[in-house]
Structure 1
Amino acid sequence: MDQLQRLRVEDISYLAPELTLVIAAVILSVLDLLLPRSASRTPIGWLVIAALAVSGVFAVLQAGVDQPVDLLNGAYRIDGFAVVMKLVFLAGTALTVLLGLGEGKNRLGTEDVGEYYYFFLPATLGAMIMASSTDLITLFVGLELLSITSYILVGIRKKISVSVEGAFKYIVMGGISSAFVLYGMSFLYGLSGSTSLFQINDALRNVAEGNAALVYISFFLLLAGLGFKVAAAPFHTWAPDVYQGAATPVAAYLAVVSKAAGFALLFRLMYTVYWGAGAGTGQYPIQEDVFFAFAVLAATAMIVGNAMALRQMNTKRLLALSGVANAGYMLVPVASHLGVFHASGFAELAYYLVAYLFMNLGAFAALSIVSMAEGHDELRGFAGLYHRAPLTAIAVVILVLSLAGIPVTGGFFGKLFILFGALQMKLFWLAIIMIVTSAFSFYYYFGLIRQMFMRPGYGSAEVRVPAALGVTLWISAAASVLLGLLPGPVLGMLEDAFRFGTDLFYR
Structure 2
Amino acid sequence: MEQAIQLSDLGHLAPELTLVISAVLISLLDLFLPSRAGRGWLAWLSIAGIAVSAVFVLLALGLEEPVQLLGQSYRVDDYANLIKLVLLGATALTLFMSIGSVKEEEIPHRSEFYYLFLPALLGGMIMASSADLITLFVGLELLGITSYILVGMSKTRSVSNEAAFKYIVLGGVSSAIILYGMSFLYGMTGTTNLGEIHDGLAANASSFGALLYVSFFLLLAGFGFKIAAAPFHAWAPDVYQGAPTPVAAFLAVVSKAAGFAILFRIVYSVYFQLSTTSELPLSQDAFLSLSVLAAVSMIAGNFMALRQKNLKRLLAYSGIANAGYLLVPIAVSFALVHYSNFSEFYYYLIAYALMNLGVFALILMLEGTAGHAETRGLAGLYHRAPWTAAAVVLVVLSLAGFPVTGGFFGKIFILLGALETKAYWLAFVMILTSVVSFYYYFGLVRQMFMRTGDDEKPWRATVPQRVTLWICAGLGVLLGFFPGTVLDAVQSVFRLGVDLFVY
Deviation for aligned residue 1:208:
4.3
Amino acid at match of 2:71: N
Question: Residue in 1 aligned with 2:113?
Answer: 116
Tell me how far apart the structure 1 counterparts of residues 501 and 357 of structure 2 sit (CA, whole Å).
Answer: 34
Question: Residue in 1 aligned with 2:103?
Answer: 105
State yes or no: 1:126 paired with 2:123: yes
The change in CA–CA distance for 1:162 and 1:175 in structure 2 (over 3 A counts) is same
Tell me how far apart the structure 2 counterparts of residues 255 and 131 of structure 1 sit (CA, whole Å).
Answer: 17
What secondary structure, in the 3-state scheme, does the structure 1 residue paired with 2:362 have?
A: helix
Alignment match of 2:40 (pick from 39, 42, 48):
42
What secondary structure, in the 3-state scheme, does the structure 1 residue paired with 2:68 have?
A: strand
Tell me how far apart the structure 2 counterparts of residues 196 and 285 of structure 1 sit (CA, whole Å).
Answer: 23
Question: Residue in 2 aligned with 1:381?
Answer: 377
Partner deviation per Cα, 1:348-397 (whole Å, 9 max, x = no partner) = 11111101111100000011112211111100000000000000000000
How many percent of aligned residue pairs carry the same amino acid? 60
**TM-score normalised to the size of structure 2?**
0.98
Amino acid at match of 1:502: V
Question: Residue in 1 aligned with 2:457?
Answer: 461
Q: CA RMSD in A?
A: 1.4
Amino acid at match of 1:28: I
Tell me how far apart the structure 2 counterparts of residues 29 and 208 of structure 1 sit (CA, whole Å).
Answer: 49
State yes or no: 1:158 paired with 2:155: yes
Q: Is the 8 A contact 2:133 2:193 kept in 1?
A: yes
Amino acid at match of 2:195: F
Deviation for aligned residue 1:211:
1.4
**TM-score normalised to the size of structure 1?**
0.97
Q: Is the 8 A contact 1:337 1:344 kept in 2?
A: no
Tell me how far apart the structure 1 counterparts of residues 420 and 111 of structure 2 sit (CA, whole Å).
Answer: 49
Question: Residue in 2 aligned with 1:472?
Answer: 468
Q: Is the 8 A contact 1:374 1:460 kept in 2?
A: no
Question: Residue in 2 aligned with 1:307?
Answer: 303
State yes or no: 1:249 paired with 2:246: yes
What secondary structure, in the 3-state scheme, does the structure 1 residue paired with 2:99 have?
A: helix
Alignment match of 1:403 (pick from 399, 414, 420):
399
Q: Is the 8 A contact 1:204 1:278 kept in 2?
A: no
What secondary structure, in the 3-state scheme, does the structure 1 residue paired with 2:25 have?
A: helix
The change in CA–CA distance for 1:462 and 1:192 in structure 2 (over 3 A counts) is same
Aligned residues: 501
Question: Residue in 2 aligned with 1:205?
Answer: 202
Tell me how far apart the structure 2 counterparts of residues 506 and 223 of structure 1 sit (CA, whole Å).
Answer: 19
Question: Residue in 1 aligned with 2:317?
Answer: 321
Amino acid at match of 2:182: M
Deviation for aligned residue 1:457:
1.1
Alignment match of 1:141 (pick from 128, 138, 141):
138
Question: Residue in 2 aligned with 1:184?
Answer: 181
State yes or no: 1:271 paired with 2:268: yes
Q: Is the 8 A contact 1:207 1:277 kept in 2?
A: no
Partner deviation per Cα, 1:273-293 (whole Å, 9 max, x = no partner) = 1112226x6664311111100
Tell me how far apart the structure 2 counterparts of residues 224 and 305 of structure 1 sit (CA, whole Å).
Answer: 17
Tell me how far apart the structure 2 counterparts of residues 118 and 198 of structure 1 sit (CA, whole Å).
Answer: 35
Question: Residue in 1 aligned with 2:231?
Answer: 234
Of 127-136 and 344-353, the range deviating more from structure 2: 344-353
What secondary structure, in the 3-state scheme, does the structure 2 residue paired with 1:70 have?
A: strand
Tell me how far apart the structure 2 counterparts of residues 114 and 106 of structure 1 sit (CA, whole Å).
Answer: 10
The change in CA–CA distance for 1:7 and 1:163 in structure 2 (over 3 A counts) is closer
Question: Residue in 2 aligned with 1:216?
Answer: 213
Alignment match of 2:51 (pick from 43, 49, 53):
53
State yes or no: 1:430 paired with 2:426: yes
Deviation for aligned residue 1:460:
5.3
Tell me how far apart the structure 1 counterparts of residues 287 and 48 of structure 2 sit (CA, whole Å).
Answer: 40
Amino acid at match of 1:341: V
- Equivalences for 1:327-346 in 2 at 5 Å? 327-346=323-342
Deviation for aligned residue 1:504:
2.6
Partner deviation per Cα, 1:58-99 (whole Å, 9 max, x = no partner) = 000000211111111100111110000000000000000011
Amino acid at match of 1:244: Q
The change in CA–CA distance for 1:436 and 1:277 in structure 2 (over 3 A counts) is same
Tell me how far apart the structure 1 counterparts of residues 35 and 108 of structure 2 sit (CA, whole Å).
Answer: 9
Deviation for aligned residue 1:188:
0.3
Tell me how far apart the structure 2 counterparts of residues 7 and 184 of structure 1 sit (CA, whole Å).
Answer: 29
Tell me how far apart the structure 2 counterparts of residues 419 and 364 of structure 1 sit (CA, whole Å).
Answer: 27
Tell me how far apart the structure 2 counterparts of residues 283 and 20 of structure 1 sit (CA, whole Å).
Answer: 50
Gaps of 5+ in 2: none
Deviation for aligned residue 1:506:
5.0
Q: Is the 8 A contact 1:422 1:430 kept in 2?
A: yes
Tell me how far apart the structure 2 counterparts of residues 208 and 143 of structure 1 sit (CA, whole Å).
Answer: 28
Deviation for aligned residue 1:464:
2.2
Tell me how far apart the structure 2 counterparts of residues 496 and 184 of structure 1 sit (CA, whole Å).
Answer: 35
